[in-house]
Amino acid sequence: GTGILSSQPEENPHWWNANMVFIPYCSSDVWSGASSKSEKNEYAFMGALIIQEVIKELVGKGLSTAKVLLLAGSSAGGTGVLLNVDRVAEQLEEMGYQGIQVRGLADSGWFLDNKQYRRTDCIDTITCAPTEAIRRGIRYWNGIVPERCKLQFKEGEEWNCFFGYKIYPTLRCPVFVVQWLFDEAQLTVDNVHLTGQPVQEGQWLYIQNLGRELRNTLKDVTASFAPACLSHEIITRNHWTDIQVKGTSLPRALHCWDRSLHESNKNGKAPLKGCPIHLIDSCPWPHCNPSCPTIRDQFTGQEMNVIQFLMHMGFDVQKMAQQQGLEPSKLLGMLSSGS
């Protein structure tokens, strides 16, 4: 595998020699379903049950002697981590394995139930507003949400638990949240399409506001890594070591998180000095972080540098630099470092 699934120390410095199990996403239910195929239901949605069965099977393959189980996932899998991490911990406890620490790593699954840029009728998964899609899905999949989250909402409102900032405060297990501030999947469901023609001012303001809203939802998340980039998914990409927030890469932040959990288990100390785990970009627009992955024009497939991208977004870097009496690259550097 690549990224966190790689067995090469250069690509996966912290977990290259861990025991890894990859569960393919074949259930289309954000890992929440418990609905078997019947005469009424043509399809089975059994994501929540698949995870439980895999855990049962792994106990006989060495999981019973593990110290830590890290449940990780990207996109729908990231949301699936939030929905299942406590249930996996409870399952192992019930099976008599209280000694295994269960943790979560949720990548690109922290969605907002925000207002779409342009409202559209819900005719398919792409046009459906985030809340409406989950509302319908949860009925269709017979979706299971954790009991502690369910109790926060009225009956029929369980869909709220699919949104990270609402379920996170109810979780018992430690979870590390990785989220691009400008997530492409979020922008797609919000009907902001960045193809072909330059972005209108309304869209540009909407995108910046999205970054602000997302940053706000992460302020109380103890362990987080949120670069100001336009992208989707990161932990299984081979460039995941290159992205930095405030000078710290994601594998390094995960290593710090791992150590801090290890230390706090020992003696309840404060966070480790010089080992940050709450890393959120403060600069205000997509790709203002110079370590962001390369952008491709979705229309032509051409790679763009940051200046080309911002000009495509209707942001005149040259003009702004001129007004400030700076080189464009200097201006970008200053904005990127948040000064």
DSSP letter for 313, please: T
Q: What pLDDT does 128 receive?
A: 85
- With a cut of 80, say whether residue 208 has pLDDT above it: yes
* H-assigned helices in the chain: 47-59, 76-94, 130-141, 147-150, 164-167, 184-189, 201-217, 250-267, 306-312, 317-324, 328-336
Domain residue extents for the chain:
3-293, 305-338
Secondary structure of residue 25 in the 3-state scheme? coil
- With a cut of 70, say whether residue 267 has pLDDT above it: no
| pLDDT one-digit tens code per residue, 299-324 | 777 787 776 777 777 767 777 778 77
| pLDDT one-digit tens code per residue, 182-198 | 999 999 889 888 766 66
Q: What pLDDT does 168 receive?
A: 98
Q: How far apart are CA 71 and CA 88, in angstroms?
A: 9
Q: What pLDDT does 197 receive?
A: 65
- With a cut of 70, say whether residue 336 has pLDDT above it: no
Range 135-152 average pLDDT = 95
Model confidence at 271, pLDDT cuts 50, 70, 90, reads: low
Catalytic residues: 75, 183, 232
Q: What pLDDT does 335 receive?
A: 59
DSSP letter for 253, please: H
pTM: 0.91
Q: What pLDDT does 327 receive?
A: 84
Q: What pLDDT does 121 receive?
A: 86
Identify which of 19, 69, 80, 78 has the alpha carbon closest to the alpha carbon of residue 47: 80
CA angle at residue 284 from 130 to 165, to 5 degrees? 35
Q: What pLDDT does 245 receive?
A: 97
Q: What pLDDT does 62 receive?
A: 95
- With a cut of 90, say whether residue 223 has pLDDT above it: yes
pLDDT averaged over every residue in the chain: 90
| pLDDT one-digit tens code per residue, 39-95 | 778 899 999 999 999 999 999 999 999 999 999 999 999 999 999 999 999 999 999
